[in-house]
Amino acid sequence: MERGAVQGAAWEPDRLTPRQIVAELDRYIVGQAEAKRAVAIALRNRWRRQQLPPHLRDEVAPKNILMIGPTGVGKTEIARRLARLTGAPFIKVEATKFTEVGYVGRDVESIIRDLLETAIRMVKAERVAAVEDRARAAADDRLLDVLVPPPRRRPQRAGSPWEMLLGSLGAGMPGPAEPARPEEEEDWRRHRQEAAARLRSGQLEDQVVEIEVEDQAPPMVDILGGPGLEEVTLNVQDLLKDWLPRRKRRRRLPVREAREVLAQEEAQKLIDMDQVVAEAIRRTEQAGIVFIDEIDKIAGRERGHGPDVSREGVQRDILPIVEGSTVMTRHGPVRTDHILFIAAGAFHIARPSDLIPELQGRFPIRVELQPLTRDDFKRILTEPDNALLRQYQALLATDGVELEFTPDAVEALADMAARANQQAENIGARRLHTLLERLLEPVAFDAPDALQGKVVVDAAFVRQRLEGVLQDQDLSRYIL
Please list the residues that pair with 254 across neighbouring strands: 208
Task: Say which range, 137-151, 242-256, 333-347, 383-397, has the weakest mean pLDDT.
Answer: 242-256
Residue 430 labelled as part of a binding site: yes
When pLDDT is averaged across residues 375-403 and rounded to a whole number, the result is: 90
In angstroms, how far is the first alpha carbon of the chain from the final one?
57
Residue 358 labelled as part of a binding site: yes
> What's the CATH code, domain 374-479?
1.10.8.60
Burial 423-434 (b: 16+ CB within 10 A, else e): eeebbbbebbee
Please list the residues that pair with 106 across neighbouring strands: 98
Highest mean pLDDT among 142-156, 243-257, 388-402 belongs to 388-402
When pLDDT is averaged across residues 306-310 and rounded to a whole number, the result is: 52
Position 465 confidence tier, pLDDT thresholds 50, 70, 90: confident
Residue 77 labelled as part of a binding site: yes
Question: In the prediction, which pLDDT does 164 show?
Answer: 56
Question: In the prediction, which pLDDT does 288 show?
Answer: 92
- What's the CA gap between 439 and 189, in Å, rounded? 64
Question: In the prediction, which pLDDT does 249 show?
Answer: 80
Question: In the prediction, which pLDDT does 331 show?
Answer: 92
363: nearest Cα among 317, 326, 319, 311: 319
CATH class of 13-121+280-368: alpha beta
Q: pLDDT tens digit string along 206-244?
A: 888 888 777 665 554 444 444 445 555 455 555 555 555
Q: pLDDT tens digit string along 164-212?
A: 555 555 544 455 556 667 777 787 788 888 888 888 888 888 888 888 7
The values of phi and psi at residue 90, to 5°, are: -140, 140
Residue 74 labelled as part of a binding site: yes
Question: In the prediction, which pLDDT does 196 show?
Answer: 85
Q: Where are the domains of the chain?
A: 13-121+280-368, 131-151+186-276, 374-479
- 6 or 272: which leads in pLDDT: 272
Above 70 in pLDDT, residue 443?
yes
When pLDDT is averaged across residues 356-371 and rounded to a whole number, the result is: 90
- What's the CA gap between 114 and 289, in Å, rounded? 12
When pLDDT is averaged across residues 122-150 and rounded to a whole number, the result is: 89
Above 90 in pLDDT, residue 253?
no
When pLDDT is averaged across residues 314-334 and rounded to a whole number, the result is: 90
Burial 242-281 (b: 16+ CB within 10 A, else e): eeeeeeeeeeebebeebbeebbebbbeeebeeeebbbbbb
Q: pLDDT tens digit string along 67-117?
A: 998 888 888 888 888 888 888 899 999 888 876 554 545 688 889 999 999
Question: In the prediction, which pLDDT does 307 show?
Answer: 41
To 10 degrees, the CA torsion angle through 192, 197, 202, 204?
-30
* Mean of pLDDT over the chain: 80
Above 60 in pLDDT, residue 131?
yes
Above 80 in pLDDT, residue 302?
no
